[in-house]
Amino acid sequence: MAGPSFPKLASSRVNSLISADLLRRLEQLQLLAVRRSKSSLKGERRSRARGLSVEFADHRNYVLGDDLRYLDWNLLGRLDRLFLKLYEEERELPVRIFLDASESMSFGTPTKFDFARQVAAGIGYVALCGFDRVGVSIFPDASALRLGPGEMSPEAAARGALRAVRGRKSSLGYFQNLNTLHCGGAAQFNAALRRGALEARQAGVAVVLSDFLDPEGYEEGLKALVGRGFQVYAVQILALEELNPTAFGDLRLVDSETGREQEVTFGKFRLSAYQASVERYIQRLREYCKGKGIAFFSVASTADLGDLLLRQLRASEVWQ
Tell me the mean pLDDT in the region 274-297: 95
Domain 7-38+93-315 has CATH 3.40.50.410: yes
Distance, CA of 201 to CA of 204 (rounded, Å) = 10
Distance, CA of 22 to CA of 216 (rounded, Å) = 36
Domain(s) of CATH 3.40.50.410: residues in the chain: 7-38+93-315
| CA proximity to 309, closest of 123, 117, 136, 99 | 123
Tell me the mean pLDDT in the region 187-214: 94
Confirm if 288 and 219 have CB atoms less than 8 A apart: yes
Rg of the Cα atoms in the chain: 23
pLDDT at 209: 98
For 71-127, what is each residue's pLDDT tens digit? Answer: 888 888 888 888 777 655 456 689 999 999 999 999 999 999 999 999 999 999 999
Distance, CA of 91 to CA of 39 (rounded, Å) = 6
251 phi/psi in degrees, rounded to 5: -125, 150
pLDDT at 6: 42
Tell me the mean pLDDT in the region 214-223: 96
The confidence band for 33, taking pLDDT boundaries of 50, 70 and 90, is low
